[in-house]
């Protein structure tokens, strides 16, 4: 179980509770957090669940896999701490996680 | 809508197609025949393939032997397995001409695909688009305000082509008065000798060389100036592409990719939306009551229309897909047009439902590395068009039969006669 805070582009925090094993993307979708499209349904193949992980959490979350990297790389507006939220499994150590939702998904 | 006008295939042709689709031996089905799309009767063939053979081998066709993949999940599996299913040498069912091969990044695998795509993708990035929105809206307004209310006119020419051509000219920073050259080059690229657009393959190539020559001029002009934010300037100054002009066929290939990608597709979704709202008039009523549904309707239009009916891959190695043994070198066609009508994904999939809950899950943009680069431009154009249409017109009535493209690739319309009523 983890508490996750999504900060949307307007600065608004959206705090949700998510069960272990689900993805950060699903936590957003299930709780109607705006700004996450997730067109492909969580298979790392559309890049529309893009989030930017808060600096303090980057080491715990970790970087993308090769496959995720290749999808992220298609986005001209990616940032150093960009991740696809469908590829971040929720786990206890991510309790308190903060991620930023970009203004646009691409 | 007049009862005499058939907006889709008439009931008799469709019944005959259904009889043929279900009467023929499964192995004899050839869904790639262009006339099926021209007559809008391909639906029962795909329906049967989805139910009985979602990975289906057609041994003989004008395009040679090919596999058809027709269900949503299996299409997605192929699209996301680029290490098995290659985009080279081409992404259409027809093989490239050996003496006129146009390399383009849509038909390349990583790493070259990624390098070239990255150069041009910022121009259609959301941030750049947000800046373009007011310009696009103003141009849409001008186009719509010029329409002859109460008279019959061709929606394809006056609205769909004009709007997408203007958008493309904007993205290329193309000489404005000559922008219809872009439309012509787009049509010529996907033309074949049956299409009536060109008289011969020689003429087609000659016109494409004109396109190359024209853009080579633009390239040298942009290369000599400070980097700008248009597609040609990005290519001319981009690290991975700055010598592209010295590889003329590859330069031409990428040009026609951007031209067709930015033109044929949204053009046909703009026409398809009008047709869909005539076929499902209750949806037009709902739309007028709630214009807030437009963004979702845009996804539904793209799903329902599926302006590119397929993308083709070529197996790099033996693979099992949906229980079928695919061999290295086999042609594998992902029928997006069928995946978007897969009932296991979309309930009442043939219906046009503007507030369909999962419309965004459509597969018309593809999934994976080759997912449509211009998807947000397409959605923006369609959204703005419908927002402005609703402000002006209470009805767009289709008053003549739509003329469809004879192609299993570009799924669209040559003509759509309409009459608009002022709001």
| CB distance B270 to B159 below 8 Å | yes
Q: Express as a percent the part of chain B with pLDDT over 90.
A: 84
> When comparing pLDDT for B104 and B8, which is higher?
B104
Q: How far is CA B280 from CA B11, B104, B353, in A?
A: 17, 39, 8
Q: Express as a percent the part of chain B with pLDDT over 70.
A: 99
Report the pLDDT value the prediction gives residue B322, as an integer from 0 to 100.
Answer: 97
Report the pLDDT value the prediction gives residue B4, as an integer from 0 to 100.
Answer: 64
Instruction: Tell me if chain A has a CB within 8 Å of the CB of B112.
Output: no
Tokens at A17, concatenated: 């509770």
* Residue numbers of the domain that contains B245: 11-422
Report the pLDDT value the prediction gives residue B2, as an integer from 0 to 100.
Answer: 46
Encode pLDDT of B316-325 as tens digits. 999 999 999 9
- How do beta strands A97-100 and B319-321 pair? unpaired
Report the pLDDT value the prediction gives residue B118, as an integer from 0 to 100.
Answer: 87
Encode pLDDT of B87-135 as tens digits. 999 999 999 888 888 899 999 999 999 988 988 888 888 878 888 899 9
> When comparing pLDDT for B1 and B13, which is higher?
B13
Give domain status of residue B4, yes or no: no
Q: How many helices (H) and strands (E) does chain A have?
A: 3, 5
**Could you give the 3-state DSSP secondary structure of residue B417?**
strand
Q: Which long-range contacts (CB under 8 A, 24 or more apart) does A63-69 make?
A: A68/A44
Give domain status of residue B2, yes or no: no
Encode pLDDT of B235-283 as tens digits. 999 988 999 999 999 999 999 999 988 888 999 999 999 999 999 999 9
Encode pLDDT of B188-242 as tens digits. 998 877 777 899 989 999 999 999 999 999 999 999 999 988 899 999 999 889 9
Give the C-alpha separation, B303 to B244, whole Å: 35
- Residue B38 belongs to domain with CATH number: 1.10.630.10
Comparing alpha-carbon positions, the chain B residue that sits nearest to A77 is B125
Encode pLDDT of B296-312 as tens digits. 999 999 999 999 999 99
Give domain status of residue B231, yes or no: yes
pLDDT at B3 over 80: no
Q: How far is CA B17 from CA B22, B23, B339, B341, in A?
A: 9, 10, 20, 17
Cβ contacts of B76 on chain A, cutoff 8 Å: 40, 43, 45
Encode pLDDT of B132-169 as tens digits. 899 999 999 999 999 999 999 999 999 999 999 999 99
CB–CB of B76 and A39 under 8 A? no
Å between B132 CA and nearest CA of chain A: 15
Of B80, B125, B375, nearest to A77 by CB-CB distance is B125
Cβ contacts of A82 on chain B, cutoff 8 Å: none
Give domain status of residue B3, yes or no: no
Cβ atoms within 10 Å, residue B179: 17
Cβ contacts of A72 on chain B, cutoff 8 Å: none
Query: Which residues lie across from B325 on neighbouring strands?
Result: B320
Residue for token pair 């705090």: A15
Report the pLDDT value the prediction gives residue A4, as an integer from 0 to 100.
Answer: 98
Give domain status of residue B343, yes or no: yes
Q: How far is CA B34 from CA B94, B96, B141, B309, in A?
A: 12, 17, 36, 11
Report the pLDDT value the prediction gives residue B97, as an integer from 0 to 100.
Answer: 83
| A74, A87, A103, A105: best to mutate for the B interface, most B CBs within 10 A | A74
Give domain status of residue B1, yes or no: no
Biggest CA-to-CA distance, chain A: 33
Total domains in chain B come to 1
Cβ contacts of B80 on chain A, cutoff 8 Å: 43-45
DSSP code at position B287: H
pLDDT at B375 over 60: yes
Report the pLDDT value the prediction gives residue B7, as an integer from 0 to 100.
Answer: 85
Average pLDDT over residues A50-74: 95
Encode pLDDT of B79-89 as tens digits. 999 999 999 99
Give domain status of residue B151, yes or no: yes
Domains of chain A, start order: 2-100 (3.10.20.30)
Give chain A's contact residues with B (Cβ, < 8 Å).
37, 39-41, 43-47, 70-71, 73-77, 103-106
Sign of the torsion angle spanned by Cα atoms B402, B405, B407, B410: negative
Average pLDDT over residues A53-68: 96
- Intra-chain end-to-end CA distance of chain B, in Å: 18
Give the C-alpha separation, A5 to A7, whole Å: 6
Give domain status of residue B69, yes or no: yes
Report the pLDDT value the prediction gives residue B1, as an integer from 0 to 100.
Answer: 45
CB–CB of B76 and A45 under 8 A? yes
> When comparing pLDDT for A74 and B353, which is higher?
B353
Report the pLDDT value the prediction gives residue B10, as an integer from 0 to 100.
Answer: 81
Q: Is B362 exposed, middle or buried (0-12, 13-18, 19+ CB in 10 A)?
A: buried
CB–CB of B80 and A41 under 8 A? no
């Amino acid at each position: 179980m983890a508490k996750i805070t999504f900060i949307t582009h307007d600065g608004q925090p959206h705090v949700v509770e998510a069960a272990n094993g689900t993805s950060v993307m699903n936590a957003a979708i299930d709780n109607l957090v705006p700004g996450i499209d997730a067109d492909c349904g969580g298979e790392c193949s559309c890049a529309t669940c893009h989030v930017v992980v808060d600096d303090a959490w980057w080491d715990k979350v970790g970087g993308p896999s090769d496959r995720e990297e290749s999808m992220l790389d298609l986005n001209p507006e990616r940032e150093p701490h960009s991740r696809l939220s469908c590829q971040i499994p929720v786990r206890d150590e991510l309790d308190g996680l903060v991620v930023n939702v970009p203004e646009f998904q691409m | 809508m007049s009862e005499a006008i058939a907006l889709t295939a008439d009931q008799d042709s469709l019944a005959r197609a259904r009889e043929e689709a279900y009467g023929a031996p499964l192995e004899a089905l050839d869904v790639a025949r262009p006339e099926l799309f021209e007559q809008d009767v391909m639906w029962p063939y795909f329906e049967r393939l989805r139910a009985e053979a979602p990975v289906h081998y057609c041994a003989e066709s004008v395009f040679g032997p090919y596999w058809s993949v027709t269900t949503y999940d299996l299409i997605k599996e192929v699209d996301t397995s680029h290490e098995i299913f290659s985009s080279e040498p081409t992404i259409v069912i027809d093989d490239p001409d050996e003496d006129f091969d146009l390399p383009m990044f849509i038909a390349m695998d990583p790493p070259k695909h990624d390098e070239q795509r990255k150069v041009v993708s910022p121009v259609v990035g959301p941030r750049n688009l947000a800046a373009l929105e007011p310009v696009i809206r103003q141009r849409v307004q001008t186009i719509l305000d010029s329409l002859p209310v109460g008279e019959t006119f061709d929606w394809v020419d006056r609205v769909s082509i004009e709007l997408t051509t203007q958008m493309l000219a904007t993205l290329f920073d193309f000489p404005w008065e000559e922008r219809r050259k872009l439309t012509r080059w787009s049509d010529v690229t996907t033309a074949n000798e049956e299409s009536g657009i060109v008289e011969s393959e020689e003429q087609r190539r000659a016109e494409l060389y004109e396109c190359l020559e024209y853009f080579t001029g633009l390239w040298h002009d942009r290369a000599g100036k400070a980097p700008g934010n248009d597609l040609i300037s990005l290519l001319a100054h981009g690290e991975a592409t700055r010598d592209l002009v010295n590889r003329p066929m590859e330069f031409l290939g990428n040009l026609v990719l951007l031209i067709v990608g930015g033109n044929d597709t949204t053009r046909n979704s703009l026409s398809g939306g009008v047709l869909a709202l005539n076929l499902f008039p209750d949806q037009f009523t709902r739309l007028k009551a709630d214009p807030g549904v437009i963004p979702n309707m845009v996804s539904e239009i793209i799903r329902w229309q599926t302006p590119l009916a397929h993308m083709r891959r070529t197996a790099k190695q033996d693979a099992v897909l949906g229980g079928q043994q695919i061999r290295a070198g086999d042609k594998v066609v992902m029928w997006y047009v069928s995946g978007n009508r897969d009932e296991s994904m979309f309930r009442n999939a043939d219906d046009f439902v503007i507030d369909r809950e999962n419309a965004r899950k459509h597969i018309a943009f593809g999934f994976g590395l080759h997912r449509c680069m211009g998807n947000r431009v397409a959605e923006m154009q369609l959204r703005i068009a419908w927002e402005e249409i609703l402000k002006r017109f209470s009805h767009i009535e289709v008053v003549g039969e739509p003329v469809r493209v004879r192609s299993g690739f570009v799924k669209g319309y040559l003509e759509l006669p309409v009459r608009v009523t002022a709001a």
